[in-house]
Amino acid sequence: MMSSRSRPRVISHVAVSLDGATTEFAPDMGVFYGLIGTWHEDVTLVGADTILAQEQALAAGPRGPGPDPDGPLLAVVDSRGRVTAWEALRNAGHWRDAIRIEADQPGERVDLRRTLERLAEQGAETVRIDSGGGLSGALLAQGLVDEISLLVHPVVVGSGSAPLWYGASDATAMFTLEHVESIGDGLVWLRYRHRD
């Protein structure tokens, strides 16, 4: 079904520590990925660094079950062509296909707004960001995030952790708390919607 909006709804779903870190702790991946069915995403938007962190293990592992015809599209922001395990990504059993999102011109950054508009033109209504702070921060800075979902873990990482959304410069973005839920062993799920 074609979206009536100029771009899809964008959800940033992130596992965080009590002090806002997204790295340097072991998130509960079962709970984290168990929640993604909430949004019925059409596209999973991922940064190249997120894929590269897993690429070697993915390529060396056993061949997956193949594309999931009912799964979302995996769209990887990878202007520099660093991701190479495309067949392994397509066969992982999570996505119906995997594509590279590149800049329109060599040496430029990907136009994220235009990328989302193109995805909407292809029928995407919901995009979930499954990436680190760079891509999430860039989308947030451009006012392109409609919902922030935080799975807060009961750990404190400390000063060595990376900031949650680096590069985010839109300090005026306001969000409204929509949902709070205690899950499992000390986890808290928070969902915020962007105030229009």
- Strands 175-183 and 9-16, by their bridges, are unpaired
The answer on pLDDT for 195 being more than 90 is no
What's the chain's length in residues? Answer: 196
Query: What is the reported pLDDT for 3?
Result: 40
Average pLDDT on 101-123 reads: 93
Q: Where are the domains of the chain?
A: 9-194
Query: What is the reported pLDDT for 171?
Result: 54
Query: What is the reported pLDDT for 77?
Result: 96
pLDDT digits (tens, 9 = 90+) for 38-88: 999 999 999 999 999 988 888 788 888 999 999 999 999 998 999 999 999
pLDDT digits (tens, 9 = 90+) for 66-75: 999 999 999 9
Q: Between the CA of residue 141 and those of 34, 40, 160, what are the distances in Å?
A: 28, 25, 24
Of residues 166 and 92, more confidently modeled = 92
Query: Could you tell me if 39 and 126 are in contact, meaning their C-beta atoms sit under 8 angstroms apart?
Result: yes
pTM summary value: 0.90
Q: Between the CA of residue 195 and those of 68, 117, 145, 189, what are the distances in Å?
A: 34, 21, 11, 19
Q: Between the CA of residue 169 and those of 32, 141, 143, what are the distances in Å?
A: 27, 5, 10
Q: What angle do CA 13, 182, 41 make, to 5 degrees?
A: 25
Average pLDDT on 13-29 reads: 90
pLDDT digits (tens, 9 = 90+) for 130-179: 987 789 888 988 889 999 999 999 999 887 666 566 665 555 678 999 99
Average pLDDT on 89-109 reads: 93
Query: What is the reported pLDDT for 2?
Result: 41
76 membership: H or E segment, kind and range: strand 73-77
Work out whether the CA dihedral 129, 130, 135, 141 comes out positive or negative.
Answer: positive
Query: What is the reported pLDDT for 101?
Result: 97
Query: What is the reported pLDDT for 1?
Result: 36
CATH 3.40.430.10 assigned to domain 9-194? The reply is yes
Structure tokens at 23: 């790295």
| Distance of alpha carbon 98 from alpha carbon 46, whole angstroms | 10
CB neighbours of residue 189 within 10 Å: 19
Query: What is the reported pLDDT for 160?
Result: 67
| Distance of alpha carbon 115 from alpha carbon 60, whole angstroms | 31
pLDDT digits (tens, 9 = 90+) for 5-17: 799 999 999 999 9
Token pair 């929640």 in the structure block, residue: 35
Of residues 188 and 161, more confidently modeled = 188
